[in-house]
Amino acid sequence: MSDNHKKEIDAVSGVETTGHEWDGLKELNNPLPKWWLYVFYATIVWAIGYWVVYPSWPLLSGYTAGVLGNSQRADALAAVEAGQAARAQLGAGLNDASLEEIAAKPELLDFAMANGRAAFGDNCAPCHGSGGTGAVGYPNLQDDVWIWGGTLDDIHTTLQYGIRSGHDEARFAEMPAFGRDGLLDKTEVDQVSSFVAARAGLEPEAGVDLAAGEVVYQDNCASCHGEDLAGIREMGAPNLLSANYVFGKSVQAIKAQVNAPRHGVMPAWEGRLDPATIKSLAVYVHSFGGGE
């Protein structure tokens, strides 16, 4: 660019140039549209008015309060306090009501569902999924397979004390490692696994003696899972005829569980969450449709 170029009239547009030129391109001296200038001037006036009326400029030990003395921070804190007061009132209602009463009263139910949904997302979704569908090792809360029971009270107890959580009141059950600890030999593990698979609607391994597998089952498994494989809830023994298995439903998954079982752990939420939130979670989880 050269500052020595003189202003001239552009032959094409008829507009005077500014005298600036870059690589043969000359800058036209087009003024800004008046409407744009008016808007720009209005924003300046607005900004000055805002500085006067509202808090705006930081000082060494505070800020300019403005003519109105308004504070969005104070407004937000007041809104939070009002919300907490309303929540405390409804929360007290949850504490005083039974689970059945919460489910029967629309106002308490709406609050419990909203509270439970938020608590589920924060505390339960990482294991059970945002919709409660679970994964391998984490139960599906939408089906009707409940090892410890799916009533409101059952779910509340499980939430409160956990499963193998170390809490004194925790749900607890442990399946022996029949193969790893030598309680059954490999052939017996194969036989009982194929027998259970066949009864559960799966294709057993070819050539395995299912009659022998039934004998192994009745001698070693029926005391917990029942002679009919339907499970015994009081012992935390799953129904082996159910549609879903926590650790996978296949012959190989069953065999792995018989050989060296995995045991999941669910934390006790008592002491971590307040009683009203635990009740809310019980109501919310029960609403998934898999409860009883």
Where is the binding site for heme c, in residues? 124, 127-128, 175, 221, 224-225, 266
Distance CA 240, CA 256 (A): 15
Q: Helices in 142-270 by DSSP H: which ranges? A: 152-161, 186-199, 210-220, 222-225, 251-259
Ramachandran assignment for 238, one of left (phi > 0), alpha (psi -120 to 50 degrees), beta (any other): beta
Structure tokens at 19: 């005298």
Task: Say whether 137 sits in a helix, a strand or coil.
Answer: coil
Neighbours of 9 (CB within 10 A): 9
What gap in Å lies between CA 7 and CA 146, rounded to an integer?
88
Bind-site residues? 124, 127-128, 175, 221, 224-225, 266
Residue type, 291: G
Sequence-distant (≥ 6) Cβ neighbours of residue 236 within 8 angstroms? 147, 148, 163, 171, 172, 173
Cα distance between residue 187 and residue 164, in whole Å: 31
Tell me the chain's radius of gyration from C-alpha atoms: 35
φ/ψ (deg, to 5) at 232: -130, 110
